[in-house]
Amino acid sequence: MTAPTTAPHTPMSPDEIGAALAAVRQAVASRVVGQDQVIDEALIAFLARGHALLEGVPGTAKTLLVRALGGALGATFGRIQFTPDLMPSDITGVSVLRDGRTFEFRRGPIFADILLADEINRAPAKTQAALLEAMAERQVTVDGAPHPLGDVFTVFATQNPVEYEGTYPLPEAQLDRFLLKIRVGYPSAEAELEMLSRYAAGFDAERSADATPAAVMSREQAAALRRAVDDVKVAPEVRGYIADVVRATRDDTGLTLGGSPRATVALFRVARAAALIAGRDFATPDDVKDYAPAVLRHRVLVAPELEVEGRTADDVLQGVLGRVQAPK
């Protein structure tokens, strides 16, 4: 008997890709006002099969952004509020005795396509380690048995940059698993007025029906968009530029820790996804330069003497980008 064959995936045409990406961005922007750059970075993290750390003060629509993106992509959404007493089993799930004879695994909230890990730095190290396995391997292990999370599984974690009481700093190994660290700032005055107009018209972000837009694509189409990133070409000179930028962070006197080889691969993946969003099938040096800070800012450490002066990782990285010559 001949084994059944799996039908090959039909690649999306450039027009289909452009229309799909435009629809996702429009759907998310219909809920999140004045954060177009943040929306693009979150979408890039998803397309590049990476996870993202969103940093911003409370009330800047981080949760709304992730919920809206999940809805637009037709993905299942899960949310975990991280607290100091959160245990690994609260995330992954537990094995329970059934009928007094057998154990049954009851899945935890981590089993979702798009997972919002809210205030991730409030959980202790043991719980963060459970999430690290899920991020690195897209599976969790409970009682020695692996449980896959699916190919679409993506973590969007949030943290508050100004409140440190009751928090646990994320270890470098976990920070390195985030493809991007996205800074979520305040919207412009015009965007804030537009937000008030929407609320005056009846919108309420705390209502699930309002916060979650209708899906503009299926889960399979979202996976096809990810596959389209793999077809984006990166010329040898652009690959060389990526490597030069990351290697330059290791020699910069303003940094005590530079980017790792994983950072080099991350910048390559992000440049590809950025090109796709821009409607191109090839990456450019500008794709690298535009997104290098988001890829590297959480992977480098600023020298203490510069921190005292108020310099940030972004400041030092801009200097690195200014020194490394981009290909013509």
Q: Can you spell out the DSSP letters for 42-98?
A: HHHHHHTT-EEEEE--TTSSHHHHHHHHHHHTT--EEEEE--TT--HHHHHEEEEEE
pTM of the entire predicted model: 0.90
Contact residues for 124 (Cβ-Cβ < 8 A; gap 6+):
84, 86, 168
**Residue 157 pLDDT:** 94
What CATH topology corresponds to 13-214? Rossmann fold (3.40.50)
**Residue 9 pLDDT:** 62
Handedness of CA 316, 319, 325, 328 (dihedral sign): positive
pLDDT tens readout for residues 225-254: 999 999 999 999 999 999 999 999 999 999
What's the CATH number for 231-328? Answer: 1.10.8.80
89 vs 102: CA distance, rounded Å: 19
282 vs 231: CA distance, rounded Å: 9
205 vs 153: CA distance, rounded Å: 24
**What 3-state class would DSSP assign to 242?**
helix
Low-confidence ranges of the chain (pLDDT < 70): 1-9, 163-167
Contact residues for 70 (Cβ-Cβ < 8 A; gap 6+):
76, 77, 113, 114, 212
**Residue 175 pLDDT:** 87
Burial, 112: exposed, middle or buried (Cβ in 10 Å; 0-12, 13-18, 19+)? buried
The domain limits of the chain are 13-214, 231-328
**Residue 96 pLDDT:** 86
Q: List the one residue out of 187, 203, 282 whose CA is nearest residue 236.
A: 282
32 vs 67: CA distance, rounded Å: 10
Residues 73-92: b if buried by 16+ CB within 10 A, e if exposed:
bbbebbbbebeeebebebbb
pLDDT tens readout for residues 66-83: 999 999 999 999 999 998
What is the number of alpha carbons within 13 Å of residue 104 lying toward its C-beta?
A: 6
229 near 272, Cβ under 8 Å? yes
**Residue 121 pLDDT:** 84
